[in-house]
Amino acid sequence: MALSAHTLKVGDTHEEQIVNNRPRTQLVQYSGASGDYNPIHTDEVFATKVAGYPSVFAHGMLTMGMTGKMLTNYVGDGRLTKYGVRFTRQVWPGDVLTAKATVEALREEGGKHFIDLTVSTVNQEGAEVLSGYASARIDP
Partner 1 sequence: MAAKKFPIEAGHIMLFARAVGDDNQIYHDEDYAKTTEPGTIIAPPTFAIASAQFDPDYPLRPKSGQPWFGSGKEPTGVQRSSGGGGGGGGGGLHAEQHFEYHRHLKPGDVLTATVKPGKTWEKEGRRSGKLVFSETITEYRDQKGELVITARGVGVRTERPVDQN
The nearer residue to partner 1, 97 or 103, going by C-beta atoms, is 97
Return the residue of 72, 102, 104, 118 that touches partner 1, per CB under 8 A. Answer: 72
Residue 62 has, within 13 A of its CA and on its CB side, a CA count of: 28
Cα separations (Å) of 127 from 20, 68, 73? 15, 19, 23
Please report the DSSP string for 46-77 in residue order: IIIIIS--SS----HHHHHHHHHHHHHHHH-T
Please choose, out of 7-15, 44-52, 98-106, 114-122, the segment that lies near partner 1 by the rule CB under 8 A.
Answer: 44-52
Contact 106, 12 (CB under 8 A): no
Return the residue of 11, 54, 111, 126 that touches partner 1, per CB under 8 A. Answer: 54
Query: If binding is defined by CB under 8 A, does position 38 make contact with partner 1?
Result: yes
Interface residues toward partner 1, by CB under 8 A: 1-2, 18-19, 26, 29-30, 32-40, 43, 45-47, 49-54, 59-62, 64-66, 68-69, 71-73, 76-78, 80-87, 90
